[in-house]
Amino acid sequence: MSRLLPWLAAIAAMAVWLGPLQLIDWYARPGITDIPTYQRVYEAIAAGGVPYRDFSLEYPPVAAGLFWLAGVLPGTYEQVFGILMMLCLAALAAGVVVAAGAVGLDLRRQMAAGAVAAFSPLLLGNLLETRFDLLVAALIAWLVVAVVTEHWRLMWLLVAVATLTKLIPLVLVPVLIIYQVHRVGRRSTVRGALGALGVVAAAVAPFVVLSASGTWHLVSYHLDRPLQIESTGAAYMLGLHGLAGVPLTVINAFGSQGLSGRGPDAISALSSAVLAVAVASIAVAFAIALRRARPQAEAVLVATALAATMATVLASGKVLSPQFLVWLVPVCVLVGGRYGWAALATTAAAMVMTQLYFPERYFDLVALDSLPIALLVARDTVLIALAAMCWPRASIGARPTSRLISRISGAPEGVPERAVSARYLAD
């Protein structure tokens, strides 16, 4: 059964995509789409334009390649893009199940993790049809598989490809470095990280040569973005607006809606600082927990640390577009310890809560109506709770004390841990 489960998850994902996502009116209705943006990129490339030199693009080169591919394959652009995202969903579902098995989760957890991945378009909505974040999520899922199965070269290759698709996977690098150093040492880790850096450099270098300023725009675009209206910082400012009448100004910029003014600018800077501190704190907590963990529990511990990092990025970043919620799926459904099931359920709940205001009530949110503000505040609060559930605790797989070993195995105190019964180690 366990060998068939990844295939079943992939088939279920495609069935969800081709069935209810297309046939149920709630999902089939038009929404807010990014496909025209992607199609314009394809048309510019097809006309001989070079990304970053001849036209601005806020996405890395692999994303540009995806937009081009959707245009050259037979069929309408929207249809082909949808098929490509369906295949990414299938890869995501299969990868999540493989990762769940590799970290040692039981069959029920593997099935539940695969179900959340396969049904994510129904949980989050049809916006996944018109964004390319399923590709990012699928790459992260198989990155986790490579990590926990210790295929280090593949891990770093996937880090490079994922970063060249969307910059966000870079936040996972501190945890990956700590884990590989712990498992195989610094030399192998440095080689792998330099190899990934080389792949990224080789992909970006031609564009830098053609237009350094245009290529830098890929980074500066995200640095310059204002506080996006769905971010946690913005949500609580919106809540203050609703409760106390705090004046706010909504602006249309950088392809989305954000808040402008001294207050939002200060919150935006604070969000970036909190994000940096939180990611560093997770890495430190993971390193400490790793030293106390049993070897059998290290895989689930690294998956939990990756989940904490991704949940924290969403909860504390200055930009939180609704499609970003799918990035949680490949990691947050793998959380170990006492909060594992809760993290899985909270991940699904956060996606459903996003669909309660997006896209149906999104422009009511922009108009500062009370109901979508309340829904947004509740959703972002749930994301904060999810980040706390995923925090890498030393209790996840901690080594038993010698007194506890003696009591369970009947051996005298001081017996080495390798003498503990296989039954106990499997618990």
Per-residue pLDDT tens for 41-88?
999 999 999 999 999 999 999 999 999 999 999 999 999 999 999 999
**If you average pLDDT over residues 269-282, what whole number do you get?**
94
Q: Could you report how far apart the first and last alpha carbons of the chain are, in Å?
A: 21
Q: Are 347 and 334 in contact (CB under 8 A)?
A: no
d(C-alpha 336, C-alpha 297), whole Å: 9
**If you average pLDDT over residues 298-322, what whole number do you get?**
96
Measured from the Cβ of residue 90, the count of other Cβ atoms closer than 10 Å reads 25
d(C-alpha 383, C-alpha 313), whole Å: 10
Task: Give the per-residue pLDDT at 426.
Answer: 36
Per-residue pLDDT tens for 151-191?
999 999 999 999 999 999 999 999 999 999 999 999 999 99
**If you average pLDDT over residues 253-268, what whole number do you get?**
91
**If you average pLDDT over residues 138-160, what whole number do you get?**
98
- Whether the predicted pLDDT of 404 surpasses 80: no
Task: Give the per-residue pLDDT at 397.
Answer: 64
**Total-model pTM:** 0.91
- Whether the predicted pLDDT of 287 surpasses 70: yes
Mean pLDDT of the chain: 91
Cis peptide before 61 (omega within 30 of 0): no
Measured from the Cβ of residue 365, the count of other Cβ atoms closer than 10 Å reads 22
- Whether the predicted pLDDT of 409 surpasses 50: no
Q: List 261's β-bridge partners, or say none.
A: none
